[in-house]
Amino acid sequence: MRLKISNNYSPNFSIPKRKNKIIKFIVIHYTGMKSESAAIKRLCDESKNVSAHYFIKKNGEIINLVPDLYVAWHAGKSKWLNYNSLNKSSIGIEIQNPGHENKYKNFSTKQLSSLKILLRTLIKKYKIDLKNILGHSDIAPERKKDPGEKFPWKNLANHKLAIWHSL
- The set of catalytic residues is 94
Pairing of strands 54-56, 62-64: antiparallel
CA distances from 98 to 19, 57, 106, 152 (A): 34, 12, 10, 16
Residue 131 burial by CB count (10 A; 0-12/13-18/19+): exposed, middle or buried?
exposed
In angstroms, the CA 38 to CA 140 distance is: 24
**DSSP run (H or E) holding 42:** helix 36-43
